Structure 1
Amino acid sequence: MTPDHAPADGRERWPTRRVPVDRLVEYVTACYLQVGVPARAARTVARSQVDTDRRGVVSHGTRLTGGYLAKLADGRLNPRPRIRLINRNGVCARMDADLAVGPWAAAIAVRYAVTIATRGGAAVVALAGCGHIGAAGSPALHGALAGVLTIVVGQTGKASVVPFGATEAVLGNTPLAVAVPNGGRPPILVDLACGTASWGAVSAHATAGRLLPPGWAYAVDGQPTRDPHRAAVLRAFGGAKGSALAVTAEILAGAFTGSTALPSGERRGLLAITISPDALGVADKLGINLDQLARAVRSARPSSTESAPRMPGDRAWQTVADADWHGIPLGDEHLASLIEAGHAHGVDPTSLTESLTGMP
Structure 2
Amino acid sequence: MSATTAEARLMVPAERVHAQILAILNSWGMAEDLAATTAEMMVETDLLGVDSHGISMLMTYEARYREGKLDLQARPRIIRQGPATALVDAGAGLGHPVSVFAMNLAVDKAMQTGVAVVGVRNSHHFGAAGIYARLAAKRGAVGMVTSATRGISMVPTGGAVPVLGTNPLAFAAPTGRNPPFVLDMATTTVAAGKVKVYHLNDRPVPAGWVMDGAGASVTDPHLAHEFVMQRPEGGLTPLGGTPEMASHKGYGLAMMVHILGGTLVGASFSPIRNRTQSEKDPDGLGHFFMALNPAAFREEGEFEHDLDEAIDVLRATPAADPARPVQVAGDPEETARARRLRDGIPVPPALDRHIRAICERGGAAYLLG
Q: TM-score, normalised by structure 2?
A: 0.86
Structure 1 equivalent of residue 188 of structure 2:
195
Post-superposition Cα deviations, 1:179-237, rounded to whole Å, max 9, x if no partner, equal 11123543211111111112222233334444432222222344443334153311111
Indicate yes or no: 2:228 matched with 1:258. Answer: no
Structure 2 equivalent of residue 322 of structure 1:
339
Cα distance in 1, alignment partners of residues 76 and 201 from structure 2: 40
Indicate yes or no: 2:294 matched with 1:286. Answer: no
1:281 is displaced (CA, Å) by 2.5
Cα distance in 1, alignment partners of residues 268 and 43 from structure 2: 30
1:89 is displaced (CA, Å) by 2.6
Indicate yes or no: 2:284 matched with 1:267. Answer: yes
Structure 2 equivalent of residue 89 of structure 1:
82
SS in 2 for 1:242: helix
Cα distance in 2, alignment partners of residues 159 and 281 from structure 1: 42
Cα distance in 2, alignment partners of residues 18 and 225 from structure 1: 30
Q: Which amino acid aligns with 2:189?
A: T
Structure 1 counterpart of 2:250, from 242, 252, 259: 242
Indicate yes or no: 2:346 matched with 1:352. Answer: no
Contact 2:13 2:341 in 1 (8 A): yes
**Farther off after superposition, 112-121 or 66-75:** 66-75
Structure 2 equivalent of residue 298 of structure 1:
315
Indicate yes or no: 2:326 matched with 1:309. Answer: yes
Contact 1:54 1:320 in 2 (8 A): yes
Cα distance in 1, alignment partners of residues 41 and 105 from structure 2: 17
SS in 2 for 1:81: coil
Cα distance in 2, alignment partners of residues 305 and 171 from structure 1: 39
**Farther off after superposition, 46-55 or 338-347:** 338-347
Change over 3 Å in CA distance of 1:56–1:344 after alignment to 2: same
SS in 2 for 1:69: helix
Structure 2 counterpart of 1:111, from 104, 109, 114: 104
Q: Which amino acid aligns with 1:65?
A: L
Contact 1:214 1:226 in 2 (8 A): yes
Contact 1:51 1:138 in 2 (8 A): yes
SS in 2 for 1:98: coil
**Farther off after superposition, 177-186 or 76-85:** 177-186
**Farther off after superposition, 103-112 or 65-74:** 65-74
Structure 1 counterpart of 2:357, from 340, 347, 350: 340
Structure 2 equivalent of residue 152 of structure 1:
145
SS in 2 for 1:99: coil
SS in 1 for 2:40: helix
1:66 is displaced (CA, Å) by 2.9
1:17 is displaced (CA, Å) by 2.1
Over aligned residue pairs, what C-alpha RMSD do you find? Answer: 2.4
Change over 3 Å in CA distance of 1:170–1:50 after alignment to 2: same
**Farther off after superposition, 210-219 or 99-108:** 210-219
SS in 1 for 2:368: helix
Q: Which amino acid aligns with 2:101?
A: I
Change over 3 Å in CA distance of 1:258–1:173 after alignment to 2: same
1:305 is displaced (CA, Å) by 11
Structure 2 counterpart of 1:233, from 225, 232, 235: 235
Contact 1:15 1:329 in 2 (8 A): no
Contact 2:119 2:287 in 1 (8 A): yes
SS in 2 for 1:100: coil
1:344 is displaced (CA, Å) by 1.8
Post-superposition Cα deviations, 1:309-360, rounded to whole Å, max 9, x if no partner, equal 21101011011011112222222222222222222211111x432xxxxxxx
Cα distance in 2, alignment partners of residues 40 and 169 from structure 1: 37
Structure 2 equivalent of residue 50 of structure 1:
43
Q: Which amino acid aligns with 1:138?
A: I
Indicate yes or no: 2:167 matched with 1:174. Answer: yes
Contact 1:101 1:132 in 2 (8 A): yes
User: What is the number of residues matched between the two proteins?
Assistant: 345
- More strand per residue: 1
Contact 1:250 1:262 in 2 (8 A): no
Structure 2 equivalent of residue 204 of structure 1:
197
- List gaps (5 residues or longer) in structure 2: 228-233, 241-245, 275-282
Cα distance in 1, alignment partners of residues 259 and 324 from structure 2: 33
Percent pairwise identity: 28
SS in 1 for 2:105: helix
Structure 1 equivalent of residue 68 of structure 2:
75
Cα distance in 2, alignment partners of residues 153 and 57 from structure 1: 17
Cα distance in 1, alignment partners of residues 117 and 8 from structure 2: 40
Cα distance in 2, alignment partners of residues 165 and 293 from structure 1: 38
Q: Which amino acid aligns with 2:363?
A: G
Change over 3 Å in CA distance of 1:305–1:213 after alignment to 2: farther
Contact 1:181 1:188 in 2 (8 A): yes
SS in 2 for 1:197: coil
Change over 3 Å in CA distance of 1:305–1:174 after alignment to 2: farther
Contact 2:176 2:308 in 1 (8 A): no
